Amino acid sequence: MSKITAHSIPALESQLDPPPFSLSELYHENTKLHPQTAQELIPSGNFTPEDLQAMSRAYKQYPNAPRISLPAAENIPPDSRSFDDVISSRRSFRDFADLDMTLDELSLILHQSYGITGEMTGLDGSRQALRSSPSAGALYPAEIYVAVRKVTGVKPGIYHYNVPNHELELMIPGDPTESMFEICCGQEFVRKTSIIILMSGVLKRTKLKYGERGYRYVLLDIGHLGQNIYLSCTALELAIMTTCGFFDDQAHRLLRLDGVDEAVLYVAFIGRRQR
């Protein structure tokens, strides 16, 4: 099967004559699974069980950062609303009240969206943690960063969510409002939220196993995670609104990410609803 390559797009040389191909079509076409090319596209067949085991334990951690323990989800009183009620009332809210949220609420959002909720035993008897969100190959390529403006008892700053320890790791101390305002293309919502979640995809983690097609999987993983965050906020009666309006490389510079192996893919504003 012949592949379309970037070199076969002559119109890319001219600004006045737009190319007949779109980059997304080019990518999608070249990452389709076909019976003849599946082996070539997905390198996972070449991994040993030990390789796969190591990949499935890839947690990002900042061991030298000051940390804040999050309250265990099982110690926080459960929501009494029915699942049907939460699903049917889920909406994007844009009227933020500029008030504090609690550490319990933040803990629940993180646990319910990406926390460890189970485990499975591999063929070799080893244990692997499973999370509240599904993930291609259980590789969990998403990382969650939280810009804290107003959370009771937590100093403003930018934190990383350490999943296995259910902790926040402080990366950048201080009020993140102005830097987030710039990164989020001047969206005024930033000035009234309690927290802003930035979610990255460690593209390398999933592409190592699934090759170029893995990029699709990372986006799908992040979408699942985004819906979990929405539902968690809805159950807590918090306002949430997601946005793709952010300057990618400014976000990477702030979080000290290379933007290639790990790239920011999703931003969500969360806070109290204006009553």
Ligand X SMILES: Cc1cc2nc3c(=O)[nH]c(=O)nc-3n(C[C@H](O)[C@H](O)[C@H](O)COP(=O)(O)O)c2cc1C
Positions that interact with ligand X (CB under 6 A): 91-92, 94, 241-245
Judged by CB, which is closer to ligand X: 114, or 171? 114
Min dist. Cβ of residue 96 to ligand X (A): 12
The DSSP line for 162-185 is ETTTTEEEEEEES--HHHHHHHTT
Residue 192: its H or E element: none
- The nearer residue to ligand X, 70 or 270, going by C-beta atoms, is 270
Nearer to ligand X, 8 or 92 (CB): 92
Report in angstroms how near the CB of residue 272 gets to ligand X at its nearest. Answer: 17
* Nearest of 148, 178, 177, 140 to residue 68 by alpha carbon: 148
Least CB distance to ligand X at residue 7 (A): 32
In angstroms, give the least distance from the CB of 113 to ligand X: 15
91 vs 191 by CB, closer to ligand X: 91
Q: What is the CA angle 14-17-22, rounded to 5? A: 90
Closer to ligand X by Cβ: residue 112 or 162: 112
Q: How far is the CB of 233 from ligand X (least distance, A)?
A: 11
**DSSP per-residue letters across 87-134:** HHH------B----B-HHHHHHHHHHHHSEEEEEE-TTS-EEEEESS-
Comparing CA positions, the residue from 203, 108, 102, 216 lying closest to residue 153 is 102
The DSSP symbol for 63 reads: T
In the complex with ligand X, which residue's Cβ is closer, 163 or 241? 241
Q: Which is nearer to ligand X, 154 or 199 (CB)?
A: 199
Nearest distance from C-beta of residue 202 to ligand X, angstroms: 19
Q: How far is the CB of 242 from ligand X (least distance, A)?
A: 5
Closest by CA position to 169, among listed 256, 65, 254, 71:
65
Q: Are 199 and 222 in contact (CB under 8 A)?
A: yes
- β partners of residue 154: 151
- Short-list 159, 163, 121, 123, CA closest to 142: 163
